[in-house]
Structure formats: structure tokens, C-alpha cells
Amino acid sequence: MGYEDNYHVHKWNKVGLPHSWPANGLNYTSQYSLQKVNEMMTSNEWTRAMFVRDPKEHMLSAYLMFRSQVEIIQPDYIRRAIAGTLKSLRNFTQNVHAPAQLKNCCQKIAGEMDANWKVLCFNHTLTFEGFLDAIENGPTKFSTDTKMWERRRSRVRFREKFTPKDLRKSPRGFDIHWSPLSLWQMEPKFYNSLNFVGHLETAQRNIRQLLDRLHPHAWETYGAAGWGTHRNESIFMSKSTVNHASNTSGRLFQYYTSKGMERRVDNFYESDYENVYLNLTRVPVGEAEVFYKRRY
């Protein structure tokens, strides 16, 4: 937007909030009229670029972020839940920071009658497998007025053993951090208007290609220097400027412990794999970086 300061520091508050509006100083499409947005998304005067990530790394990154945020926001509830000393999750599930897995899944299935089952459910969602159970398959709407609801709640009341299949029938835990791009990023009709799609695995090479396309001197001016921890790198030169702090790529085999886990994630992101504009390929766990570097 023309600021001379570092990209992550806003002039008036000096706080690095690249994802927080209005502190980041960026303009969003919601601030423009529909006519102007349509021009942005279709006119040859605009460049529309998107960066995508290997779905398996994308999913694990979302899980690690979810887990870390819950532990930071509600450490005492987490500690007591894991220790088995938490008797009621009612206040926690009503908290504005409570994870969607509790609000939309564990609490609704168990109702208010079975705090013990909600704790077991919550503990399960803190595992990678439980996280997948909570976000995949289930219907997007779930009525509390149906006989099915009452039967399901009566089956789990006062249980001491958690049943993952009940969680899979609960409302899907939708969130932009893990949901397929094709389902929320933008309207399908605009994908063929994309001018450039890069991959996080080849971000340094792709960002130079993008900047060169924008202007002959864009790379030298904005990308070649001044980045990294010590401001002596080019943009995306090191993994520290590309990967999230969760170090997802280094923890893949810790969480993907079976081919079945891989297949579940592949199925979850089926719409992204089938979106020809994203140019994603089903790659075995841990091989995405090598694969996309060879491709490009």
C-alpha cells in the first residue's frame, strides 16, 4: 500500500500485525463496491496471484495452530481436562475463545447432561486423529429439535468411554485455516481469472517470477534484499520466512502415522485437488517440497 516501513509494522502503532485489519494498513475487497471488485477480478489491468500449500502440510499446520491456541488461551482447562479432573466444560464451551470442536461437536452431542463425555470428547479432539474426526464428513447443519438428537444424546449420557463415530456425525467444524480453498477462498467463476498461482514449497522462486511479471525492477526494489531475521536475505530465502512457527514440515511423520491418515486428508481436500487452477498433486507425506521444486 506504499508504506516505507517494514511490511509487518504499521506506522501509527508500531506493532506487527500482518493479518489484522486495520492495524496492517491494507485494503480489502470488502471496502470496495461490488462493481469495483468485479473489475479487480476480471480486468487485465489487475494481477491476481495466489499461493497454495501442499494439503497434507496445510492440514497439519492448521491442527498445530489450533492446539497451540487452545493451550495458550485456556491452559488451566486443558491441564485439568487431560488430567481427568475437570468436571464440567459448560463455562469453557460458552467462552468466546472456546474451540469450534467443543461448541459445535462435543457439547451438542452430549447436551448439558454428560460433562464427563464432553471432557473425553475434548481430549480426543486435541489429538490429530480426533481433530480429523471433528472436521470431516458431518453435515453442515444439525437441529436440536429432532428425535435423532434426543436418541443420540441419550446414548452418550453418563458414558465413560468416548465413541469417535458419534463425533463424526456432529456438525462439521468449519474454519478458513483448514477448510479447502475451493470452498471458501473465492467464487468458482473467478478461478480462471487468476494470473499466477505459486506454491509455498517453491515460494522463493515463485515470488521472483511474480515480481518480475509485475515490473522489470520489482525484484531488485522489493524482493532481492532486506528480508530475514537480520534483514540480509532475499524474500523467502530461508524457511524461517516461509513456514509458520509450527515447523510443520519437520513434524509430518510424527502425526501422519498411517496411510489411512493420508487418505483421509486427501479425501478432505478432494475439491482442491480437482481444481485445475490450483495445480495441486497428491504427493506422499514429506515429499511435497522435492516434488514441486522439480516441477518448477
Between CA 122 and CA 116 the distance in angstroms is 10
Is residue 225 one of the residues assigned to a domain? no
pLDDT at 108 over 90: no
Is residue 288 one of the residues assigned to a domain? no
Q: Which domain holds residue 124?
A: 59-168
Is residue 277 one of the residues assigned to a domain? no
* Portion of the chain with pLDDT greater than 90, in percent: 31
| Residue pointed to by grid coordinates 492446539 | 67
Is residue 144 one of the residues assigned to a domain? yes
Is residue 203 one of the residues assigned to a domain? no
pTM of the predicted structure, to 2 decimals: 0.76
Is residue 141 one of the residues assigned to a domain? yes
Contact 265, 59 (CB under 8 A): yes
pLDDT digits (tens, 9 = 90+) for 198-219: 998 889 899 999 999 999 999 9
pLDDT at 5 over 70: no
Q: How many domains does the chain have?
A: 1
**What's the mean pLDDT in 270-294?**
92
What is the grid cell recorded at 41?
Answer: 477480478
Q: What pLDDT does residue 52 have?
A: 93
Task: Identify which of 259, 247, 187, 245 has the alpha carbon closest to the alpha carbon of residue 41.
Answer: 187
Between CA 268 and CA 131 the distance in angstroms is 12
Q: What pLDDT does residue 109 have?
A: 57
pLDDT digits (tens, 9 = 90+) for 127-148: 898 888 878 764 333 334 444 4
Q: Tell me how crowded residue 134 is: count the other CB atoms within 10 A of its CB.
A: 27
Task: Identify which of 52, 54, 56, 7 has the alpha carbon closest to the alpha carbon of residue 196.
Answer: 52
Is residue 121 one of the residues assigned to a domain? yes
Is residue 123 one of the residues assigned to a domain? yes
Assign 87 a pLDDT band (cuts: 50, 70, 90): low
What is the grid cell recorded at 37?
Answer: 471488485
pLDDT digits (tens, 9 = 90+) for 18-28: 666 776 777 88
